[in-house]
Amino acid sequence: MSTIKNTRLLKDLGKWTLVMLSMAAASVSCKKTENFAPGKVNTILALSASSDSAIVLNEANKYNTALTFDWTTGSNHGTGASISYTLEIDRKGGDFSNALKTSLGKAVFTLNYTTGTLNTLLSTYWKAAPDAAVQLQARIIDSISAAGVKSDTSAVVYLSVTPYKPVSPTLYILGDATVNGTNPATADSLTPDPAVPGLFHYQGTLTPGHFKFITTLDSLLPSYDEGADSTKLILRQSAGAPDNQFVISNASVYTISVNLISLTISYAPAALPLYSRLWIVGDATPNGWNINTPNVMVVDPFDSYVFHYNEVLAAGEFKIPTSTGNWGADYYRPLTNDPSITDTTAALVLGSTNPPDNKWKITNPGPYKIALNIGDNSIQILPFTPYTRLWMVGDATPAGWNINAPQVMTPTPGDPYTFTYTGPLTVGEFKIPVTTGNFNCAYFRPETNHPPITDTLAPFVPVHQNPADANDFKWYISVAGNYKVTLNQLYETISIRQQ
């Protein structure tokens, strides 16, 4: 007996939850007449549906109004009492005992249902099947706040509504072109568009291969595959259906937009670098052949396609992995093994292709500055000859803006890369030229103008070759005092410490 009672209670609670949800969704579209004072009103209570009597819902209009009910004030039967309203909607032919009842309060004379709200009500409250018209009837009932006054009920309004089957609210990208591969349990999710129904967005790295979309993690069906062409989708619902996937020919970061309602797709390389992190591994580098902790390359502060590695290298080899912990990863490699370091060609080589293990080779140990450009697949491997003299110029320094005799920096004994200045600095700017007598020279500069003095980046900037030089970026001292400025020209770092 208790089981039957609990089951009935759960059903009643479920129904009440649906009613409350529908009221919450619909109430935001109620229009209340402010400062309405009924006085003695004596109007026949009448309900009308301003939408077509036969409504076919379309998910593309999910957020638009599909159905509007309007009603007259009705009568308080000369009492001057306020009037409240309740809208009831039932299947046609019903006696309204199981109707959806929405209490609307006072001074409300219209109620809007969006396409999405109405479709949800049809499928959950009335258990309507998609694409089959449902015949409904509606009425408005008033309630007068005076004792003993009977409520009025409007004439019934009839309408027909055809619901749709909603597209999936989730979507995932799957395939050997994707970072997560072909495992449906780890497919990467797309982001639903907040304003356009059925539209999803994705941005991520794709390499040569194939991809499609699934709607549920760890389930290969249903899937959305390539349709009539690369701009069309087709819903694949059985394993026996053709599995025509989209093709990626060139590795890049891609932006993808998928519309499950119109069954269309657009995808193209984004204006972003393929990788935001790269490493360098090999016995020429300090960390050797440790693929778990290879040496990190640094993204150029002015060009996110360029990665730098400045270091004293040993005689030996190196290559550039795109991830750590896996020798089977994708790499940037030379086109041939051990090419001359004057060869500037580089290529992204997929580990899945089992390629030749081509590497670059350092024959002469010493300091090098390496710059890999993943935008045009080029590399520069340049032996570094440190400057033997450096200066500081700017109104923060004792020498001011005198480029003919700027403030001298002091080389560090035994360390050809490090220069220091210790002494007073006033409120003002400075930069570090590599020569004197000409402002139009190369500098060590900050990566932005007036960065915090805790910032440690001091990139070498050739004349007019990037924004730091074109915009004349400089360091700024905001508090006068004695400072120690330390510049390492190999690693392109700076320390500015008040003493």
Please write the tens of the pLDDT for every residue from 83-121.
999 999 999 999 999 999 999 999 999 999 999 999 999
Q: Which residue has the higher pLDDT, 83 or 22?
A: 83
Confidence of residue 31 (pLDDT cuts 50, 70, 90): low
pLDDT 10s digits, 468-490 = 898 999 999 999 999 999 999 99
Task: Look at residue 461 and tell me whether its pLDDT is greater than 90.
Answer: yes
Tell me if 171 sits within 8 A of 213, measured CB to CB: yes
Mean pLDDT over all residues of the chain? 91
Asked if residues 302 and 261 have their Cβ atoms less than 8 Å apart, the reply is no
Quick one: pLDDT at residue 53?
Answer: 72
What is the mean pLDDT of the segment spanning 48-68? 89
Report whether pLDDT(295) > 90: yes
Name the more confident of 213 and 77.
Answer: 213
pLDDT single digits (tens) 314-342: 999 999 999 999 999 999 999 999 999 99
Domain layout of the chain by residue ranges:
2-162, 172-269, 279-383, 391-498
pLDDT tens profile 139-183: 999 999 999 899 999 999 999 999 999 999 999 999 999 988 999
What is the tens place of the pLDDT at every residue in 364-406? 999 999 999 998 899 999 999 999 999 999 999 999 999 999 9
Structure tokens at 74: 């009705």
Contact partners, residue 185, CB within 8 Å, separation at least 6: 217, 218
Give the model's pLDDT for residue 20.
Answer: 39
For residue 33, what pLDDT is reported? 60
Per-residue pLDDT, 353: 81
For residue 3, what pLDDT is reported?
31
Return the CATH architecture of domain 172-269.
Sandwich (2.60)
Model confidence at 36, in pLDDT bands (50, 70, 90)? low
The CATH class given to the 279-383 domain equals mainly beta
Torsion (CA) 194, 200, 205, 208 in degrees, nearest 10: -170
CATH code at 391-498: 2.60.40.3620
Residue 18 pLDDT level (bands cut at 50, 70, 90): very low
User: CA 138, CA 51: separation in Å to the nearest integer?
Assistant: 13
The band of 303, judged by pLDDT with boundaries at 50, 70 and 90, is: confident
In the block, tokens 């009839």 appear at 158
pLDDT at 272: 83
What is the token pair recorded at 478? 């905001």
For 63-78, what is the mean pLDDT? 94
Q: In 10 A of CB 492, how many CB atoms?
A: 21
Contact 293, 308 (CB under 8 A): no
How far does Cα 453 stand from its chain's mean position?
32
pLDDT at 179: 84
> Does 51 score more than 80 pLDDT?
no
Report, at the CATH architecture level, how domain 2-162 is classified: Sandwich (2.60)
Amino acid at 105: G
Name residue 265's beta-bridge partners. 258
pLDDT confidence of 9, banded at 50, 70, 90? Answer: very low
Does residue 298 surpass a pLDDT of 90?
A: yes
* 2-162 and 279-383 share one fold: yes
Predicted pLDDT of residue 10: 31
- Predicted local confidence at residue 26, as pLDDT: 40
Count CB neighbours of 458 within 10 A: 25
pLDDT at 16 over 50: no
